[in-house]
Structure 1
Amino acid sequence: MDDGGRQQVEEALRERSQRGDLAGTATLAIESYGPEILGYMATTGGAAVEVDDVFAAFVAALWQALPRFRWESSFRTWAYTIARRVLLRARRRAQAHARRLEPGSEALAAVVDRVRTATAPFLRTSVRDELSQLRASLAEDEQTLLILRIDRRLAWDEIAQIFAEEGDELDDAELRRRASALRKRFERLKARLGAQLRARRPE
């Protein structure tokens, strides 16, 4: 979807929301932004996260929060904010579950994790080329930063909103400061990936 298409979607979402059509708003939002958010979750979720379940949890969280949305950002930015928080909670639950394994089962869990990690890239259509494999090895927040800026082309202030902790209240100055910090982090990350990619190539 290009910028013009997204603008039309945003206007239609706002119109439905303002006349109280929550079901219509949610339906259009999932139809329009669901595929890219599902792709983001599949790329960054990790082997221990069931993407279908997490996406369903995202839709439920969006529906629950929809009456409180005040259009202080674009709907797309707000949806990614919810998606990232749902995904982080799912990852924490998966990690907590792994820690509750019976004594003596750590070795088996390690084998399972290795199999999942080795297999997942071949199962995901988005992870096929060398750069995608490098990106898949990054931490979740680094993957998110790359996806939101490169793949989704979000502005830095939008990305700063998505990365904000739940309950954070950002004034314009703080939003600019965080956006600047994320931009610098992004540049460092790009340089690091470029160096790793060059190191993989034969002389």
Structure 2
Amino acid sequence: MIAYGPELRRLMSAILRDETQAQEAFSLFAECLLKGLPEFRWESSFRTWSQRIARNVCFKLLNAPAARHRHVSLSAISAISAISAPRRSTTSPWRRSTVKDRFRALCQRLDPEQQKLLMLRVDQKLPWPEVVRAMSDSNESMTAEEQARRAAALRQQFQRLKAQLRTLAIEEGLIAL
């Protein structure tokens, strides 16, 4: 888990879009991982299995009634905004750029499933069979034929997603024709 910890934190932050919630989700993930370890059947890699647990924890937090119905008073909002300082980036200065930030903003417009597909394939460079396992919702094992069919569908979805991002980038002026 130590080797995949930062990767899983990024995944959870991308899904939840809130660092405080991502910290809470990561601690819940660690609990679920330890409790579920005896049930791990090695039908996928440990990395894929842990990503699925992380994703499920995030979706449980997002769908929890408390998360959906937060009520905050105006006085609490003004108190928080007065106290909070501007957030500093942990990214090294030579890795930061306005183009990267603008491209990340384009990616934020995508739905969470599309973001997850991008992150698994581009950021983490997972092979398609691992992407299929990470993206599937069921815990049942797939036949090789079902997995190949799902991988082909995800590859097509990925191609459409790249075309969509290219169109958005051209509209935003990030890419010249």
Bucket of the pairwise TM-score, normalised by the shorter protein: 0.7 to 0.9
Kept after mapping to 2: 8 A contact 1:49/1:91 = no
Higher RCO (CA < 8 A, seq sep 6+)? 2
| Aligned CA distance change for structure 1 residues 177 and 45 (closer, same or farther; 3 Å) | same
Q: Does 1:97 align with 2:69?
A: no
Of the candidates 138, 158, 162, which is equivalent to residue 186 of structure 1? 158
Q: Does 1:74 align with 2:64?
A: no
Size of the aligned set, in residue pairs, is 160
Where in structure 1 do 4 or more consecutive aligned residues deviate above 6 Å? none
Give the structure 2 partner of residue 52 of structure 1: 23
1:54 Cα deviation after fit? 0.4
Gaps spanning 5+ residues in structure 1: where?
A: 1-29, 113-121
Q: Does 1:88 align with 2:59?
A: yes
1:100 Cα deviation after fit? 4.1
Give the structure 2 partner of residue 15 of structure 1: none
The code of the aligned residue for 2:23 comes to D
C-alpha distance in structure 2 between counterparts of 1:136 and 1:77, whole Å = 23
1:99 Cα deviation after fit? 4.9
Q: Answer with 153-162 or 39-48: which moved more.
A: 39-48
Give the TM-score normalised by the residue count of structure 2. 0.78
| 1:31 counterpart SS class | coil
Gaps spanning 5+ residues in structure 2: where?
A: 78-86
Q: Does 1:169 align with 2:141?
A: yes
C-alpha distance in structure 2 between counterparts of 1:150 and 1:101, whole Å = 34
Percent identity, aligned pairs only, is 34
Q: Does 1:63 align with 2:31?
A: no
| Aligned CA distance change for structure 1 residues 81 and 135 (closer, same or farther; 3 Å) | same
RMSD of equivalent CA atoms? 2.9
Give the TM-score normalised by the residue count of structure 1. 0.68
The code of the aligned residue for 1:138 comes to L
| 1:32 counterpart SS class | coil
The code of the aligned residue for 2:111 comes to A
The code of the aligned residue for 2:17 comes to G
